Amino acid sequence: AQSVTQLGSHVSVSEGALVLLRCNYSSSVPPYLFWYVQYPNQGLQLLLKYTSAATLVKGINGFEAEFKKSETSFHLTKPSAHMSDAAEYFCAVSVRNTPLVFGKGTRLSVIA
């Protein structure tokens, strides 16, 4: 069965600094990988996804992620953090037609 590990339950960055949220996956077959963001009292919103096309995926709000098969990683980055980026971020994996499996999430704080 597939799984996801998000390193760091809480990440704090200064406004304007690089954002790096780590995600490692486990899957015996080629996976589909997703990053979702959740703002307080709201549902999850898709940031970006990897579905076996280009390994560098660009998403909304300036986020991007790179699929690295050799490292089984799909880390999320943004060059310059904005106050509005403060939220909970979830990495998720699925294979073929199986349900999404989510990581435990990383809470991003942005300091002015």
Partner 1 sequence: GAGVSQSPRYKVAKRGQDVALRCDPISGHVSLFWYQQALGQGPEFLTYFQNEAQLDKSGLPSDRFFAERPEGSVSTLKIQRTQQEDSAVYLCASSPGTSGKEEQFFGPGTRLTVL
Q: Torsion angle of alpha carbons 57, 60, 61, 62, nearest 10°?
A: 20
Nearer to partner 1, 28 or 96 (CB): 96
Query: At residue 62, what is the residue type?
Result: G
Q: Give 59-75 as a DSSP string.
A: -GGG-EEEEEGGGTEEE
Pattern of binders to partner 1 over 39-68, x per CB under 8 A? --xxxxxx--x-x-----------------
Number of residues that bind partner 1 (CB under 8 A): 25
Contacts with partner 1 by CB under 8 A lie at 32, 34, 36, 41-46, 49, 51, 90, 92, 94-105
